[in-house]
Chains A and B, each alone.
Chain A
Amino acid sequence: MSVLKLENVSKSFKRFKAVDYMSFSLDEGKIYGFIGPNGAGKSTTINMIAGLLKATSGTITILNEDVSNKNIRKYLGFSSEFPVFYNDMGCLDFLIYMGTLCGMSYKEAYKEALYLIDRLALSSFENKKVSSFSTGMKKKVGLAAAIIHHPKLILLDEPTANLDPDSRLEIIEIIKELASDNKTILISSHVLSELETFIDNVLIIQNGKLVLDASMEEVQRTSDNATLIINSKDQRLRAFLDHKAYIYTLNDGVYRVKVDNDAKSSIKKYIVENDIDFKELYDENMSLNDLYESITKGERHETDHS
Chain B
Amino acid sequence: MKQIIARNFRSFWKISNLIFMGFGIGFVVALSLHLYGKDTIFSFEETVGRYNVDYLTMCAYVFIFGIANISLIIKTADTFTNEIKSGTVKLLFIKPLSRKEILLAKVLGNFLGSLSNLLFCLLMASSLYIAIGNLDIDVAINIYTINIAIFLGGVIEILTILALMSMLAIFIKNNVLFTILMIFILFIGAGVIPVAENIASNTYYDLHLYCFDLSSQLFTLIKTFAEPLNTVIGTYSGTFSTFMMTTYSLNDPDFIIGNSFGSAFKDQIGPLIIMTVYLAITVFSMLASILRYDNMDIS
Contact = CB atoms under 8 A, between A and B. Distances in A.
B299 A44 contact: yes
B297 interface: yes
Contact of B90 (A44, A71, A80): A80
B297 A54 contact: yes
A78 B96 contact: no
A76 B90 CA distance: 13
A86 B88 contact: yes
A97 B86 contact: no
A53 B298 contact: yes
A84 B299 contact: no
A70 B88 contact: no
Interface residues of B, number: 21
A53 B296 CA distance: 8
Contact of B91 (A73, A82, A88, A98): A98
A97 B7 contact: yes
A53 B96 contact: no
Contacts of A43: 299
A241 interface: no
A85 B94 contact: no
A51 B7 contact: no
A71 B297 contact: no
A52 B88 contact: no
B95 A84 contact: no
Nearest to A13: B297
Nearest to B101: A70
Contacts of B101: 70
B279 to A, nearest CB: 29
Contacts of B3: 97, 100-101
Interface in A103-126: 103
A256 B4 CA distance: 61
Interface in B4-51: 4, 7, 14
B255 interface: no
Given A47-B299, A54-B295, A97-B3, A76 B94 contact: yes
A72 B98 CA distance: 11
Interface residues of A, number: 28
A102 B96 CA distance: 6
Interface string A14-52: 000000000000000000000000000001100100111
Given A52-B297, A101-B3, A84 B94 contact: no
A71 B94 contact: no
A52 B90 contact: yes
Contacts of B14: 88
B96 A84 contact: no
Nearest to A86: B88
B281 interface: no
Contacts of B90: 50, 52, 80, 84
B280 to A, nearest CB: 29
Contacts of B97: 70, 73, 101
Residue from B7, B91, B94, B97 whose CB has the most chain A CB atoms within 10 Å: B94
B93 interface: yes
B70 interface: no
A74 interface: yes
A68 to B, nearest CB: 9
B288 interface: no
A52 B96 contact: no
Contacts of B156: none
B298 A74 contact: no
B95 A102 contact: yes
Contacts of A97: 3, 7
Nearest to A47: B299
A84 B93 contact: no
Contacts of B295: 54
Interface in B93-126: 93-98, 101
Contacts of A98: 91, 95
B87 interface: yes
A84 B298 contact: no
A71 B87 CA distance: 22
B91 A52 contact: no
A50 B96 contact: no
A53 B297 contact: yes
A52 B93 contact: yes
Interface string B174-186: 0000000000000
B298 to A, nearest CB: 5
B128 interface: no
B58 interface: no
Given A47-B299, A84-B91, 14 more contacts: A50-B90, A50-B93, A51-B94, A52-B93, A52-B94, A53-B299, A54-B295, A70-B101, A73-B94, A74-B95, A101-B95, A101-B97, A103-B96, A145-B91
17 contacts: A47-B299, A50-B93, A51-B93, A52-B299, A54-B297, A70-B96, A72-B96, A73-B95, A73-B97, A74-B95, A84-B86, A98-B95, A100-B3, A101-B95, A101-B97, A102-B95, A102-B96
Interface of B: 3-4, 7, 14, 86-88, 90-98, 101, 295, 297-299
Q: Which 6 residue pairs spanning A and B have beta carbons closest together?
A: A74-B96, A84-B87, A73-B96, A101-B95, A52-B298, A70-B98
